[in-house]
Amino acid sequence: MGEIARHPWNTSFTWSDRDGPFRALGPEQVAQFDALGYIVVDPLLPADLLEAVREETDRFEREVDAALQQFDGGRVSIAESGAITFSTHLVARSALLRSLSRHPTLLGICADLVGPDVRLYWDQAVYKKPEKPRRFPWHQDNGYTYVEPQQYLTCWLALTDATVRNGCPHIAAGLHRMGTLAHRYVDPLGFECCDDPPDTVAAEVPAGGAVVFSSLTPHMTGPNSTAAVRKAYILQYAPTGAMRCEGDPAAGPPTGRQPCEAPERQYEVLRGGVPAAP
């Protein structure tokens, strides 16, 4: 299984279970999220909105893929033409996706699982291609950029059916309660916190649904062994006041903290439990 260790900056984390009443989720769903670190919400997007979102992310992804092809091997960092592409910060360029980030169901889930005061933290379309099948390793979202508080939320929206064959998320259930884990970089795949965790589950989800999981939930996606592109759009939400930590974890405590408040893409979505003004 390989050693599973806490991140050096994760010295006093305690998982916080959520108390009701709940707006969008049932008590059983919230209990599963607290215990296992994830839930599947299906359906979430109606068919007409799903199609519009997919057309929008397709447009941006074509630009990203064309840009990647200008580099040697078609690769920049962990993104690679024909393998996997990341189209980031689309809410800053698309009125449709900016509106989607404030979808009533998503805001209800945020109120249930994050809190009354919430900002969008990150958004990206992730397309897993069939030409160069590869896995994306076991990692936590907070393992890429260490954010405090460590608990924020990832909503992995399926724009096409996500199955084991085309690279749906797999979840390492229960490990989120340890907080952020130590990660190592595996070239060219990305950061990895473990290689064979216990108690894993495949979170298959049809197009229009979502896998909702904690920033602390170790997850991976397998290779796409089908003939079609697996498409997902990811929206992440953090409590208002969240800070991005800076520094070298191997060298000691953080040397700085930056607020997650870039106005064009890290805007308020909930204030006092109600939708914030756009």
pLDDT of 188 reads: 64
Q: Which amino acid is at 28?
A: E
Q: What's the angle, vertex CA 246, arms to CA 216 and CA 175, rounded to 5?
A: 15
State which H helix or E strand residue 245 sits in.
strand 243-246
The C-alpha atoms of residue 72 and residue 222 are separated, in whole angstroms, by 25
Is the pLDDT at 57 greater than 60, yes or no? yes
Residue 194 CA, distance from chain mean position:
18
pTM: 0.95
| Farthest CA pair distance, the chain | 53
Taken as a whole, the chain contains a residue count of 278
| Homologous superfamily of 29-247 | q2cbj1_9rhob like domain (2.60.120.620)
Judge residue 256's burial from the number of C-beta atoms within 10 Å of its C-beta, 0-12 exposed, 13-18 middle, 19 or more buried.
exposed
- Closest of 156, 121, 129 to residue 41, by C-alpha: 156
Q: What is the three-state SS of 50-65?
A: HHHHHHHHHHHHHHHH
Please report the pLDDT score of residue 2 as a whole number: 53
Cβ contact 253:246 at 8 Å: no
Sign of CA dihedral 272, 262, 243, 80: positive
How far apart, in Å, are the Cα atoms of 148 and each of 93, 131, 267?
27, 38, 17
| Residue 189 pLDDT | 66
What burial class does residue 196 get, using C-beta atoms within 10 Å of its C-beta: 0-12 exposed, 13-18 middle, 19+ buried?
Answer: exposed
Q: What φ, ψ does residue 205 adopt, rounded to 5°? A: -150, 135
Q: Are residues 165 and 268 in contact, defined by beta-carbon separation less than 8 angstroms? A: no
> What is the C-alpha end-to-end distance of the chain, expressed in Å?
46
Per-residue pLDDT for 89 more than 70? Answer: yes
pLDDT tens per residue across span 142-196:
998 999 999 999 999 999 999 999 999 999 999 999 999 999 887 766 788 888 8
Banded model confidence at residue 3, pLDDT cuts 50, 70, 90 = confident
SS3 content of the chain, % helix, strand, coil (to 5): 25, 30, 45
